Amino acid sequence: MPSASLFLYLDARDRALFTRWVVTDQATPRLRHFWRGMTHLGGATATITLSTIPIALGGTYRTAAIHALWILVMSHLVVQLVKRSVGRPRPSLGVMSHTWIDEPDKFSFPSGHAAAAMSVALAYAMAFPSLAVLLLGVAAIVGVSRVCLGVHYPGDVVIGQLIAIVTGAAVFAA
């Protein structure tokens, strides 16, 4: 299968999965509120706060926060470079007419919220292994929220999370 055909196939599968996950007009206000709340955990306010404030606590919290900040900054740079290079439009520009939350920019691929949530979760999961499943699970749910709210395709989320994981591996290897 030539690479162009592979990308078309993956795009079609991504769009089909999106239409199954996105929250419809029939969804309850409570469900929409839940997804909005979860998505904010991957936003700048939450991730920057979780990556800076614990530095003042010292010890393991300080180390984890410094790692989180490095992973967050480095993964964000990669995400923004890829977003502007690929230029994939958001679902609201082709698949659906509206979203359930404001879009931060016009580019869909990869998801910055998914990368940010995974960046912070990964750093704290490494520092506190007993919380790893919970932290990484919350990061995964943040990614799902981006699809449910109509601002990203599932593939955008997966690649955003992979960027965070690869960046985290580089930070921990250094």
- Residues acting as catalytic residues: 113, 152
DSSP element (H, E) containing 167: helix 154-173
Total count of residues recorded for the chain: 174
Give the number of other Cβ atoms within 10 Å of residue 151's Cβ.
23
Amino acid at the residue 29:
P
Q: Strand, helix or coil at 107?
A: strand
CB 104 within 8 A of CB 112: yes
User: Taking the C-alpha atoms of 69, 171, 167 and 135 in order, what is their torsion angle to the nearest 10 degrees?
Assistant: -60
